[in-house]
Structure 1
């Protein structure tokens, strides 16, 4: 499908190339071949000898119609034809003078380079030069073009020139057509402005892929002769000048794939000749104007971008674009409904309106759609369609691609699909379709892709569907299917009559199809590239015959969420030589982690939630292309080798938590690392944090909780620009958290968990002021996205465990907008600063079990998003601020074990809290704790008798926490000190509290 999306661009390039041929041939059609000038012949032969003519073009198969033209150039004095260079392939001459005027050596298998002294630049009468689609070995474009002062057409596209375009080309004032498209050239200095200043006659300009990295100059709007402008993938930036849209002769404007280019669509005038407008992957904003109907010649309109911010709805006036053949308005957030006036666009062959916020509508209500009988591609993915697929769809008999995925379509797949005899790609995934997989699909022999995953289809997986002659991709995952149709085919037998040949199938997804045995029809399949069998009922070992599946082709294997115990013991290494993704998550594999082939270029290695054992596998250090590594939730032990830092250049995800690794965390040595997530929690790691983490500028997620790390607060991580999650709980971090080093310290941080360490001093008020992402919602996260890293075949979701609402809560996905602060179980002292109220996007706040004093700041009442608040186990005093009763989302509150007084506020949320949330505050009163207040506005203030033991209760259990946090030895020292004093019975009380605290800690670690 993606190739077809860019078809108009390819057509545009071909048009520019053919423009050379048409212009050249028109000049000489019907004329007698002139006699070549001798000087020109000598220079052509010299130019020929400066190249190697490759036997096959090194760019094939991307080169159109390769033909080594210069190979036929030969001078033979006895042959009048061969001695006339004007008759040689690719050359055209002036009729009167015999001088070479046009040289077309495109697709000629030329290999080598051209220097500035080349005889080419002595062909001073040259007007048209085409060297496109050759291989000039990454050399620079030579200087010398200033000698070709009459040059009007120059085509160097896709010729493997590199570096800056030489400035002498911009001195050619007669230039009409210029094509530098490719991926290796630069146009920095001079840039586009210089080109626009000198080439005032320019009609065709194609700079696709040329690295410009600057704004598009307003001076381009002075090129009144310009008919075609293509700047796709040039990294142009800034705001595109609207005046360029108004050029009087502009027919083609292609600005695709410039993600930092802002484009506002102007009011189009009625005389605009625009035929093609491509704005894929640009920053579109504003509205799609009604005046677009003035573009009567428009044939292709392409609007699509992750940054597309068009507002409003599709204008009805589009119906006036009767010449329109390709219409792509995808992912732009447009609202309203799809206008029925689209039925007037009868010339459409390509229609893609996917991923817009249209209102819910039945597919059957789009009666206008069935009038577009020329459609070859129809994509209405994620457009809020519901209801059944109507039989009228059979009228679109020319369809080659149909994509109705990510909607709410229901009912059966209609048999009228049989009328779509040209259909190659069928995508109906992520709907609510029911029934069996229809048998008539076996007659649709043109199908190359079938995607029916995530529906409600039932019955067995039919074996015939895998035998469609052209099928390369089949995805039936996550339906209600129940195994393979023919049970004999699922038995591991060697008889060839049970083996179905699958010569073309390369991608197969049968996840969650209730398979109990590996499909035997896959045996000896040579071409498979992707195999997804996750979430089935496979038990015991992976059968030995699986090693023959795509031994040289398999790139992705997913066997996760089954009951497999391992591979056959005879397999010392995985047999697949080109494996890139390996996933056996949530099985019962034992022994050491499976080792890939030494030839494999592994990108993703996922083996969590198994029973793997042994030391950290050192062969992982040799996987220099590894992006995602997850060994979590196993029984691996040993220290982490220093060589782990060798793969840090490519690594994006490192997840080793819930094992038994010990020793120090190794340094990450590489610079420019891509690491986004590091999770080493719930191990036995010790020592200090590796300071090299500060080099990981892409880091978003750090979880090192539940280890034995002894260090101070890592303020040196402040500059990390992307860090959003920092979990250091249950370690031996200690000391005072000083003020941040800058006003931008941890500015993207949204979740911080420092609970159960030994931090002292005041709460970090300075950081409350710098955590700006907790004050406002990140604009990039407004679409409720999750923290994740891209893998080769999908995404890896970050996950974590936090204490929320008094319980350990597992987050399988971490929302970009979730915010939390947990500083509980430390030795913070002093008052809660009012600045905490500035964190208005906070969802969770836990300051329990510290030494905090003073009142609860009323500013907490301004945390309108707060869901969980735990201030228990401190020495807070005063009243509970009535502002807390205004927190509409507060579903958990715990202020127990403080010195609070007065009446408990009333409100819809407060009335849902239980007595336990307030107990341990003798001075509180209210209906919730069944204690009447003497006055509605005056809190009861009972006199607490002070005796000789009152000093102990002021110390409270934090003394025990001090003993727990610093080791049993300190606890025993405190106990001996108490035994030496008057309070002989207090030592036993502290001992019991210490034991309870240790038991609680063990439960937390087990969870």
Structure 2
């Protein structure tokens, strides 16, 4: 039994322990001065529900009150205190609807014990980051993202040496004098650096590769430059890296160390290049990869299949090629896969059936284009390149039917063939299908009408056929975007007015064999895009049609039908938002309908319009392109078309009956790129003020009554490619150029059928650079005036192809689509004298050369044999003498050769193309001899036709001409882009137009 003293001591110790426990379990109240600072901070802002965008946003400061039950600031929402001292150490007011400004006097900076501060997702009205932030020297985490701060980041932020996380993203901030190197030298404990949208405008210092504790580096849209230090990829703790939207930043992916910890990587919209290394598969923890719109190339590494945790992969807009590796089927966690806009070939791998979690799949736009080929030529040493198998081919694989979770399926612009499989109707979650621009044939399967969730269906520009009822599409109640144009479909318009039809926003029914305007359009009041081109719609445009999309319609194309008039012609077309209106190639008569003020592109060509251009066109403030060609319009050219030239880029009034002078008051802000006033009765001189139109690429004033000298002053136009002044009253001598830069971009010049005299312009031949060196920067196979503009919800790209008439191959040829590689010189039917200069042989890209019907003397220069691209050479009806140079036999593409009616003598060259020309190429030269003439050259036997080509020789010539068809035969071959056609994108979805020859007459 214990003693009383022992019991007393034990009880005392127990009491002390109990007291200590009670004392230690009571959290101290916040300090009054810090509570006061918080309340002052609260009062400096108002609560505005539009100030935060997060769905979890709420007004945290509303709980900050002084009542007894809530007087302790440590219990307030967003406030965190130290359990030992009671000091405020954390303040999280992210997404709190705070609206107002903040400066250095703010009571916030009295909270000197703060370690964590989050003010993200509020509105601080373009406040500067206060220099007093240095008072918060204990901060380890500072988040000011997306709160409308502006100006330069203060140098005082460098004093926060304890920072482990710094997030200044989403503000209008500049790094300025602080400098990125200084930031890294001072803030050595950083583990997370988030500077999205901060203007750094410099390269990244190598010191960044020394931050071994760095876990997150987010530098999107920072105007980074130079080459990215590859050592950063070797950081042992790095999990998040984003450099997206820094187009001036270059770099490449090095060999990747084993089991790299990276979870998310985005290099999108940068200039990273090269191939993905085989060691890329060492990113085994990677969940998110976005490298779209870079310059990566080559084949995908098979090790890509090692990234089994990937759920998002975007490789779009690069130059990857060869087949997609089957190992992609190992990535079973995929929810998003985008391989679009590359150069993949072969069939879609069957292993894609394993990706059962896919929600979004795009394998679209993998056709090789000319721009990609030009770029590749600068990247690799091309010795052989087979372009016949580019683009994904084969049938739509049955493997896709396993993708039961898929909502978005894009396979457009490939070489897929066969039918659309019936099992497509089993993918019941599909909301968007884009199969356009393939070679798909057969009928549209009935099962597609079972896709009750379908919102978008693009099947245009295939070879689909069959008869369909329009009401089948109208039963898809969520369908708002439908494109069927450019197939061989026949749509039956059996449905009448249908108030329950879906409200379409995009509707393309071109070439659908419609014979009348579909009645269901009467209920369509939300349409933004409507295309009925190339149908069989006759007669007048009904009165009710003027109400279709009256407030929403932006694009309307009714071209290539048999329309004659409006049932009731309004004073101004009623569509208040209309920007593009095309009624080309119909049977409209009478005056030009008045467009609404919103119009940007107005195309009414190839009708029978008469009268004058109405003055209302002078009120079109946004007009970019006006095409009224091939009508019967008369009167004066409105001077306002000159005054509006700041905005006007395309003016085409070709083939009308205008009889006046060309307006002469073009200003220095002139934005014209294409002007065609040919085939009218225009008089006077070419206005000198056209020299202000420095963006002009195409000028055609041919077949008029212009009386002027050669406009050498047009040589100052840096972009001028085509100059056609044929069949006018030009006279005088073509002088010498004043500078070597004159007409530096000129590819086609036609001065034929005038009264020009003097010597041929040899000095110009020496400086026409564009006829000597190929343009490798062109992204289009055709010369066109490219215009683009944005509207609410859409981006329009317009390609106005340059149509010309050139004397080629013995006759006038109409070039509806002028190849960008085309170079031509036509000085025929003038009064030129003297010799043909040797310098003309330097114009090696010339394909048409016509000097006929002049007074040219001397010998045919052998240098003409250096123009190996020549297709047509006409030197007839001059006074040339001597022999035909044997060197001309080197011209393998020559199809037309005329030297008739000169004073030539001696033997006609043999070999290559010369063995194909007829007698009429040489008639009127009595002293010429040899095949094909009957007159021999001293040999008593009449010369016989050449022996037939051997198989090897035949193969050689076939090869050469095969390339000619590919590279120069675009006038009658594959048509890429639209003549007055549009690409447009909504904010979420893209629509790229790419038509083949069978549709070229309808665009």
SS of residue matched to 2:507: strand
Q: d(CA) in 2 for partners of 1:39 and 1:354?
A: 60
The answer for the alignment partner of 2:665 in structure 1 is: 667
Residue 308 of structure 1 pairs with residue 295 of structure 2: yes
Aligned ranges 1:542-561 → 2 under 5 Å: 542-561=541-560
The answer for the alignment partner of 1:358 in structure 2 is: 344
Contact preservation (8 Å) 2:227, 2:250: yes
Shift of 1:74: 5.0
Shift of 1:529: 1.5
With over 3 angstroms needed to count, the CA separation of the structure-2 counterparts of 1:886 and 1:56, relative to structure 1, is same
Query: Which of 466, 476, 482 does residue 458 from structure 1 map onto?
Result: 466
Residue 250 of structure 1 pairs with residue 233 of structure 2: no
The answer for the alignment partner of 1:492 in structure 2 is: none
The answer for the alignment partner of 2:926 in structure 1 is: 922
Residue 69 of structure 1 pairs with residue 59 of structure 2: yes
Query: Which of 327, 338, 353 does residue 341 from structure 1 map onto?
Result: 327
Deviation per CA, 1:285-319: give whole Å up to 9, x if none.
322221212222222333333x7361x32222222
Shift of 1:519: 0.8
The answer for the alignment partner of 1:54 in structure 2 is: 48
The answer for the alignment partner of 1:748 in structure 2 is: 745
Moved more, 844-853 or 575-584: 844-853
Moved more, 336-345 or 239-248: 239-248
The answer for the alignment partner of 2:394 in structure 1 is: 387
The answer for the alignment partner of 1:472 in structure 2 is: 480
With over 3 angstroms needed to count, the CA separation of the structure-2 counterparts of 1:243 and 1:51, relative to structure 1, is same
Shift of 1:800: 1.9
With over 3 angstroms needed to count, the CA separation of the structure-2 counterparts of 1:205 and 1:541, relative to structure 1, is farther
SS of residue matched to 1:319: helix
Residue 199 of structure 1 pairs with residue 187 of structure 2: yes
The answer for the alignment partner of 2:603 in structure 1 is: 606
With over 3 angstroms needed to count, the CA separation of the structure-2 counterparts of 1:334 and 1:175, relative to structure 1, is same
Query: Which of 793, 799, 802 does residue 802 from structure 2 map onto?
Result: 799
Shift of 1:31: 10
The answer for the alignment partner of 1:524 in structure 2 is: 523
Q: d(CA) in 1 for partners of 2:26 and 2:879?
A: 106
Q: How does the TM-score come out when normalised to structure 2?
A: 0.82
Aligned ranges 1:766-805 → 2 under 5 Å: 766-781=763-778, 784=781, 786-791=783-788, 792-801=795-804, 802-805=806-809
Contact preservation (8 Å) 1:415, 1:440: yes
Shift of 1:570: 4.7
Deviation per CA, 1:328-368: give whole Å up to 9, x if none.
2234333322222222222222222233333443x4xx221
The answer for the alignment partner of 2:355 in structure 1 is: 372
Contact preservation (8 Å) 2:785, 2:802: no
Contact preservation (8 Å) 1:69, 1:90: no
SS of residue matched to 1:860: helix
SS of residue matched to 1:818: coil
The answer for the alignment partner of 1:328 in structure 2 is: 314
SS of residue matched to 1:638: coil
The answer for the alignment partner of 1:946 in structure 2 is: none
Residue 827 of structure 1 pairs with residue 815 of structure 2: no
The answer for the alignment partner of 2:33 in structure 1 is: 39
The answer for the alignment partner of 1:405 in structure 2 is: 412
Deviation per CA, 1:874-905: give whole Å up to 9, x if none.
32222211111111111112222322222111
Shift of 1:752: 2.5
With over 3 angstroms needed to count, the CA separation of the structure-2 counterparts of 1:385 and 1:36, relative to structure 1, is same
Residue 727 of structure 1 pairs with residue 721 of structure 2: no
Deviation per CA, 1:742-778: give whole Å up to 9, x if none.
4443333322323334444433333333333322222
Shift of 1:634: 2.2
Deviation per CA, 1:950-1004: give whole Å up to 9, x if none.
xxxxxxxxxxxxxxxxxxxxxxxxxxxxxxxxxxxxxxxxxxxxxxxxxxxxxxx
With over 3 angstroms needed to count, the CA separation of the structure-2 counterparts of 1:529 and 1:924, relative to structure 1, is same
Contact preservation (8 Å) 1:726, 1:753: yes
SS of residue matched to 1:370: helix
Q: d(CA) in 2 for partners of 1:874 and 1:32?
A: 113
Contact preservation (8 Å) 1:141, 1:162: yes
Moved more, 602-611 or 727-736: 727-736
Aligned ranges 1:37-186 → 2 under 5 Å: 37-57=31-51, 63-65=53-55, 67=57, 69=59, 72=62, 75-76=65-66, 78-81=67-70, 83-138=71-126, 141=129, 143-170=131-158, 172-182=160-170, 184-186=172-174
Q: d(CA) in 2 for partners of 1:692 and 1:143?
A: 56
Deviation per CA, 1:274-294: give whole Å up to 9, x if none.
233323333343222212122
SS of residue matched to 1:723: coil
SS of residue matched to 2:146: coil
Residue 432 of structure 1 pairs with residue 418 of structure 2: no
Deviation per CA, 1:754-811: give whole Å up to 9, x if none.
3334444433333333333322222223774553414444432322212222322222
With over 3 angstroms needed to count, the CA separation of the structure-2 counterparts of 1:918 and 1:121, relative to structure 1, is farther
With over 3 angstroms needed to count, the CA separation of the structure-2 counterparts of 1:818 and 1:513, relative to structure 1, is same
User: Which ranges in structure 2 are unaligned for 5 or more consecutive residues?
Assistant: 1-23, 367-390, 789-794, 944-1003
Deviation per CA, 1:129-164: give whole Å up to 9, x if none.
434333444565555434443444344443344454
Q: d(CA) in 1 for partners of 2:192 and 2:408?
A: 33
Deviation per CA, 1:496-519: give whole Å up to 9, x if none.
xx4242344211111110001111
SS of residue matched to 1:683: coil
Contact preservation (8 Å) 2:492, 2:514: yes
With over 3 angstroms needed to count, the CA separation of the structure-2 counterparts of 1:417 and 1:99, relative to structure 1, is same
Moved more, 616-625 or 545-554: 616-625
SS of residue matched to 2:442: coil
SS of residue matched to 1:394: helix
SS of residue matched to 1:523: helix
Q: d(CA) in 1 for partners of 2:600 and 2:175?
A: 35
SS of residue matched to 1:678: strand
Q: d(CA) in 2 for partners of 1:621 and 1:903?
A: 64
The answer for the alignment partner of 2:889 in structure 1 is: 885
Q: d(CA) in 1 for partners of 2:428 and 2:542?
A: 39
With over 3 angstroms needed to count, the CA separation of the structure-2 counterparts of 1:447 and 1:144, relative to structure 1, is same
Contact preservation (8 Å) 1:91, 1:102: yes
Q: d(CA) in 2 for partners of 1:773 and 1:479?
A: 39
The answer for the alignment partner of 1:278 in structure 2 is: 266
Contact preservation (8 Å) 1:45, 1:73: no
The answer for the alignment partner of 1:648 in structure 2 is: 645
Q: d(CA) in 2 for partners of 1:836 and 1:130?
A: 72
Contact preservation (8 Å) 2:542, 2:568: no
Q: d(CA) in 1 for partners of 2:688 and 2:27?
A: 76
With over 3 angstroms needed to count, the CA separation of the structure-2 counterparts of 1:67 and 1:880, relative to structure 1, is same
SS of residue matched to 1:644: helix
- Higher normalized contact order (CA 8 Å, seq sep 6+, divided by chain length): 2
With over 3 angstroms needed to count, the CA separation of the structure-2 counterparts of 1:411 and 1:770, relative to structure 1, is same
Query: Which of 213, 217, 220 does residue 229 from structure 1 map onto?
Result: 217
Q: d(CA) in 1 for partners of 2:481 and 2:712?
A: 50
Query: Which of 190, 198, 208 does residue 196 from structure 2 map onto?
Result: 208
Deviation per CA, 1:86-136: give whole Å up to 9, x if none.
444443344444444444443344444434444444444444443433344
With over 3 angstroms needed to count, the CA separation of the structure-2 counterparts of 1:358 and 1:74, relative to structure 1, is closer
With over 3 angstroms needed to count, the CA separation of the structure-2 counterparts of 1:412 and 1:201, relative to structure 1, is same
Moved more, 387-396 or 421-430: 387-396
Residue 631 of structure 1 pairs with residue 628 of structure 2: yes
Q: d(CA) in 1 for partners of 2:671 and 2:156?
A: 41
The answer for the alignment partner of 1:962 in structure 2 is: none
Moved more, 809-818 or 779-788: 779-788
Q: d(CA) in 1 for partners of 2:43 and 2:440?
A: 66
Q: How does the TM-score come out when normalised to structure 1?
A: 0.81
With over 3 angstroms needed to count, the CA separation of the structure-2 counterparts of 1:738 and 1:612, relative to structure 1, is same
User: Which ranges in structure 1 are unaligned for 5 or more consecutive residues?
Assistant: 1-29, 490-497, 940-1007
Contact preservation (8 Å) 1:111, 1:136: yes
